[in-house]
């Protein structure tokens, strides 16, 4: 459905208070126009996307699981010590009496070789995994969006330089570069965050560049440029909102990959250092007891698998929800 010249000029002249989803389009037609013609003028891209997302049962289950894990992780200091004991420091006088206890009401997942409650340590490990997953992904998204936007919007030599820089980063094994950076900066939560964050921007930059190249060809962008809008305003008000959907989906899915990377680094002894629990660190500590005490390996492994799977399912649901071509 084509847009007439009057619509283009009004779109270019809109004030800064216009809703962020105003320009998002379906097949060349702004969603607001589509909704108005269908008798649903109050609906926006985001309300439609939320409605489609809530109809996806797997995505809803994944969201519920992630909300539960997040709440447990945030509130862990308030109840774990009182109910299950200190998850980081063992009572050396009682180790022989409390180590390797089987699951019970007092210890739902049993205890480890130091007599520490496994459930409490898994919950505390979620704090590290979620923190690294969210913050490292945020760092990658910021870098990727900036470089991808500059590359796709300006093109030419700028595009070539950014894409060749991306190729250089992609040419090296991701995990090896992360190990190198952590070795240079030192082990711990901060270096892990920085290493994963600054190495994860490449795919985001490519995805966002592709979105920019597609969106900037639309007529309303040309109209805004003809009305004298600056490059920054065109980018922020007309292009960025329409190009974000793929980044939201990819970033959600990549959080699971970041959690796996953090677990791998902690398993190698390069991540968060004891006594702070982390899922990868728990796997590392359980290596000596894989045969005799397999539960020590199973519980953090299940936590990693379920959390990564939840982010993948949520990202898949967001992809379908944000696809405006999906039939109702």
Q: What percent of the chain has pLDDT over 70?
A: 85
Looking at residue 50, its pLDDT comes to 86
Residue-range domains of the chain with CATH: 58-89+109-322 (1.10.3720.10)
pLDDT of residue 245 exceeding 70, the answer is: yes
How confident is the model over 83-134, as pLDDT tens digits? 998 999 888 888 889 999 999 999 999 999 999 999 999 999 999 999 999 9
Quote the DSSP letter at residue 94. S
Contact 21, 31 (CB under 8 A): yes
Of the listed ranges 5-9, 108-112, 170-174, the one predicted with least confidence? 5-9
How confident is the model over 127-162, as pLDDT tens digits? 999 999 999 999 999 999 999 999 998 888 999 999
Q: With H, G, I as helix, E, B as strand and everything else as coil, classify residue 85.
A: coil
Show the tokens assigned to 157: 């030599």
How far is the CA of 44 from the CAs of 20, 28, 50, 173, in angstroms?
10, 16, 10, 42
List b or e across 280-297, with b for residues whose CB sees 16 or more CB atoms inside 10 angstroms: bbbbbbbeeeeeebebbb
pLDDT confidence bin for 324, thresholds 50/70/90: low
Contact 326, 31 (CB under 8 A): no
Show the tokens assigned to 244: 């974000």
> What integer best gives the mean pLDDT of the chain?
84
List b or e across 223-257, with b for residues whose CB sees 16 or more CB atoms inside 10 angstroms: bbbeeebeeebbbebbbbbbbbbbbbbbbbbbbbb
Report the alpha-carbon distance of residue 167 to residue 215 in Å, rounded.
Answer: 24
Q: What percent of the chain has pLDDT over 90?
A: 54
């Amino acid at each position: 459905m084509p847009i007439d010249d009057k619509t283009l000029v009004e779109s270019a002249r809109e004030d800064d208070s216009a809703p962020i989803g105003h320009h998002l389009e379906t097949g060349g037609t702004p969603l607001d126009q589509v909704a108005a013609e269908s008798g649903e003028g109050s609906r926006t891209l985001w309300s439609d996307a939320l409605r489609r997302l809530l109809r996806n049962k797997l995505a809803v289950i994944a969201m519920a699981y992630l909300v539960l894990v997040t709440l447990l992780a945030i509130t862990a200091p308030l109840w774990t010590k009182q109910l299950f004991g200190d998850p980081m420091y063992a009572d050396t006088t009682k180790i022989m009496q409390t180590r390797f206890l089987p699951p019970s009401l007092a210890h739902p997942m049993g205890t480890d070789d130091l007599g520490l409650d496994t459930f409490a340590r898994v919950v505390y490990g979620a704090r590290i995994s979620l923190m690294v997953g969210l913050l490292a992904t945020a760092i990658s998204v910021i870098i990727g969006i900036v470089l991808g936007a500059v590359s796709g919007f300006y093109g030419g030599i700028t595009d070539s330089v950014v894409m060749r820089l991306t190729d250089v980063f992609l040419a090296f094994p991701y995990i090896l570069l992360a190990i190198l950076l952590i070795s240079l900066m030192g082990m711990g939560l901060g270096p892990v965050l920085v290493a994963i964050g600054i190495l994860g921007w490449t795919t985001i930059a490519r995805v966002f560049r592709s979105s920019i190249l597609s969106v900037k060809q639309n007529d309303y962008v040309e109209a805004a440029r003809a009305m004298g809008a600056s490059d920054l305003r065109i980018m922020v008000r007309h292009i960025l909102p329409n190009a974000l959907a793929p980044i939201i989906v990819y970033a959600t899915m990549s959080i699971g990959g970041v959690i796996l990377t953090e677990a791998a680094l902690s398993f190698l002894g390069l991540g968060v250092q004891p006594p702070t629990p982390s899922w990868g660190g728990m796997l590392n500590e359980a290596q000596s007891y894989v045969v005799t005490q397999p539960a020590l390996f199973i519980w953090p492994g299940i936590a990693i698998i379920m959390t990564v799977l939840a982010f993948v399912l949520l990202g898949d649901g967001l992809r379908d929800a944000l696809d405006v071509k999906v039939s109702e």
